Chain A
Amino acid sequence: MKYNFITIEGNIGAGKTTLAHLLSRHYNARLILEAFADNPFLPKFYENPQQFAFPLELFFMAERFKQLKDLIQQKDLFQNLTISDYLFTKCLLFAKINLPDDEFRLYQRLFDIMHQQVTQPDIVLYLHSPVNKLQQNIRKRNRPYEQKIKDDYLFSIQETYTHYIKQHNIKTIFIDASNADFLGNENHLKVVMDILEKDYDHGQHYFNLP
């Protein structure tokens, strides 16, 4: 294993958390998962986005910052492998979609201060899946507050992510996850493990699953 800190990213319902669990079990890695269940604004936000977007995003940023900041303080953990299912930048990307301009500028000021203090991953695995497949997965996992998410929203998340990754030249492995079944198909997991055995230049690299 060439990496100490791997982040798995992707749209809502792309399979980030499942893959993070499986890899962490395989490598006996420290796992950092988004604590979405703890955000009291999430159900309210999906009912009434305009009113609850700012506290929602602020809460997420505070939680993510705390998790990733704790990680640096426990430096010895980095002798081993850590896997997370989100980038700190996720805050900014979602805020950009959900907040009006003036609120977003305020949010970004806070983000910039915090961003410098969190550890960045050595490599990002980005799970890419078409919107209809995401909707399928969202229905299947059946979190009540996610059931009304619109296609447009998923499209804009996807756009924002890919735009950001391309702009910032992050070492990113795009995996076409449209038919991904990491739990059921061991070859899919094997592809990811093989990917992680190699080193890559900065920028984007593309892989398919068998």
Chain B
Amino acid sequence: MNVAYLLTGGNTGNRLQYLNKAVAEIKKHCGTILSKSSVYETAAWGIKEQNSFLNQALKLSTVLFPQELLDCLLQIEENLGRIRIEKYGPRIIDIDILLFNDDVIDARNLKIPHPELSNRRFALQCLNDVAPDIVHPVSKKTIAQILKECTDPLRVDKFE
């Protein structure tokens, strides 16, 4: 059995509802969700019309291989996106694979660990809820340590 850490996120529509729908779809199609982080909000900044983002990390137990998991998640993104928004509209939910076991994958369409994980406070903050002691397979630091050293200036607060 594989263990993957995922990050869901969105900033359009009923954001919380979409995060919950993503959880339900992932349970149905990808495996068993072992734990969930709190939902965190990254405040809007810079461009006026941008809503703030909600994010949540999920710990997933799955029999799928990384590429299969990616395909499955893309399908879920697309399905959820079609509920409200026209075919070529913006996706209303993003689902990223942050970590997959201790694997390091550098394929064209799939990079694991997620290359921006260490740079983004919202991703680290969520992941830190469910896996503070997990060691990043490239930098060999724990998630808690990476979060402590993160220079991302965008504030991340607990939602709810």
Interface residues of A (CB under 8 A from B): 17-18, 21-22, 24-26, 30-31, 33, 37, 74, 76-77, 183, 186, 189-190
Kindly identify, within residues 48 to 70 of chain B, every residue whose CB is under 8 Å from any CB belonging to chain A: 48
| B48, B108, B153: the one within 8 Å of A22 (CB) | B153
In this complex, the member of B108, B120, B151 whose beta carbon has the largest number of chain A beta carbons within 10 angstroms is: B151
Residue numbers of B with Cβ under 8 A of A are 45-48, 106, 108, 115-116, 119-120, 149, 151-154
Contact (Cβ within 8 A) A186 B46: yes
> Which of A17, A76, A186 is B151 in contact with, Cβ under 8 Å?
A17
- Residue in contact with A74 in the complex, picked from B46, B106, B116, B119, CB distance below 8 Å: B106
| Distance between B53 CB and nearest chain A CB, rounded to angstroms | 10
Name the distance in Å between A162's Cβ and chain B's nearest Cβ: 25
Q: Chain A contacts of B149 at CB under 8 A?
A: 37
- Give the chain A neighbours of B116 by CB distance below 8 A: 24, 30-31
A30–B46 Cα gap in the complex (Å)? 19
**Chain A's nearest CB lies how many Å from the CB of B5?**
20
- Given the complex, which residues of B lie within 8 Å of A22, measured CB to CB? 45-46, 153-154
Known contacts A186-B47, A186-B48, A189-B46, A18 near B153 by CB under 8 Å: yes
Q: B interface, by DSSP: helix, strand, loop or mixed?
A: loop
Distance (Å) between the CB of B34 and the closest chain A CB? Answer: 29
A190 to B149, CA, bound (A): 28
11 contacts between A and B (CB under 8 A): A17-B153, A22-B153, A24-B119, A26-B46, A30-B115, A37-B149, A183-B153, A183-B154, A186-B46, A186-B48, A189-B46
In contact, B152 and A21 (Cβ under 8 angstroms): yes
| Chain B nearest Cβ from A188, distance in angstroms | 9
Evaluate contact between A26 and B47: CB separation under 8 angstroms: yes
Contact A33 B46 (CB under 8 A): no
Complex Cα gap A17–B119 (Å): 10
B123, chain A: closest CB distance, angstroms? 11
Complex CA–CA separation, A24 to B152 (angstroms): 10
**Measured between alpha carbons, how far is A184 from B16 in the docked complex, in Å?**
26
Q: Name the residue of chain B whose CB is nearest to the CB of A15.
A: B153
The answer for the CA separation of A26 and B48 in the assembled complex, in Å, is 12
Among B45, B108, B153, find the residue whose CB has the most chain A CB atoms closer than 10 A.
B153
Closest A residue to B48 by beta carbon equals: A186
Contact B119 A31 (CB under 8 A): yes
Instruction: Give the shortest distance, in Å, between A25 (CB) and chain B (any CB).
Output: 7
